[in-house]
Amino acid sequence: MTVRSKLYEGKAKILYATDDPAVLLTYFKDDATAFNAQKRGSIEGKGSFNCAIASHLFKQLEASGIATHFIEQTSANEMRVQAVNIVPLEVVVRNIAAGSLCQQTGLSLGTVLHQPLVEFYYKNDALGDPLLTLDRLLLLALATAEQVTQLRAMALKINDVLKPFFLQCGITLVDFKLEFGLDQQQRLILADEISPDTCRLWNQTDDDPKQRVMDKDRFRHDLGDVALAYQQVMERVLQHTL
Ligand code: UDP
């Protein structure tokens, strides 16, 4: 039987230990936060939508040769994952300019990038997850130069899988955030989640900049129908395989 000892409670998920030290249980909550937790709320059903979406995407990625921490979905809100040491980096991949890229560079929302942009942010709430330079990342020893090369390659490969996958679903993958962990053999594997909480997803059949949003920007910017958008992403994602 699974032993429920809470290891960590984050903004959107709870991590429990199990009777196997190599396995953890992730519980996906309905709680939502934005702007470094300055905005808080709840999206009814989000936990189950994100758990189903992330499980399905992890399976697609595994089938494409990308190692992930995913083991299996065990209930509507829960998945069993491999225990890893999380690398304190948020790896963001962008195909289209949005969010902080627009704010910090002046690029217009929706500018198509000629090639995907990979960025590293310091996973540190107290500092507000700042954008890192490679030299700062190495200075802080957040990863080795070799690991950075590997993280970049994995992030781009994941984009190469997810972009066409979402296209099949009628969704444009604008950008997304990844987290990685080191397994017991010190191998880098994909961890955390991939969901509308961590991606920007635009409905392809809608050009209206507000209507098209199918991700957490609906919550961030009070666009309404947040749960419905997450549910629609789930329904489309579950209908497709690579
Ligand atoms: N993102 C995330 N967690 C974070 C910061 C960003 O999942 O702590 C995701 C976000 O949903 C988007 C992408 O990473 O899909 C790029 O986010 P951006 O840097 O534009 O920041 P934002 O505008 O969301 O503050």
CA 157, 55, 182, 27 torsion-angle sign? positive
pLDDT truncated to tens, each residue of the chain (242 aa)?
555 799 999 999 999 999 999 999 999 999 999 998 999 999 999 999 999 999 999 999 999 999 999 999 999 999 999 999 999 999 999 999 999 999 999 999 999 999 999 999 999 999 999 999 999 999 999 999 999 999 999 999 999 999 999 999 999 999 999 999 999 999 999 999 999 999 999 999 999 999 999 999 999 999 999 999 999 999 999 999 98
**CA-to-CA separations, 242 to 14, 15, 93, in angstroms, rounded:** 30, 29, 20
Q: Is 96 in the pocket of ligand 1 (CB under 6 A)?
A: no
Q: How far does residue 217's CA lie from ligand 1's centre (Å)?
A: 9
CA distances from 198 to 91, 93, 138, 168 (A): 11, 11, 25, 19
Question: Which atom of ligand 1 is nearest the CA belonging to 200?
Answer: 15
Dist. CA 177 → ligand 1 center (Å) = 6
> Could you tell me the distance, in angstroms and rounded to a whole number, from the CA of residue 5 to the centre of ligand 1?
30
Q: Is the CB of 129 under 6 A from ligand 1?
A: yes
Among residues 128, 132, 150, the alpha carbon closest in space to that of 141 is found at: 132
Cα 153 to chain centroid distance, Å, stands at: 17
Which amino acid residue places its CA nearest to atom 10 of ligand 1? 198
What is d(CA 180, CA 86) in angstroms, rounded to the nearest whole number?
Answer: 6
Domains in the chain, ordered, with CATH? 3-82 (3.30.200.20), 85-225 (3.30.470.20)
Name the pTM for this structure: 0.97
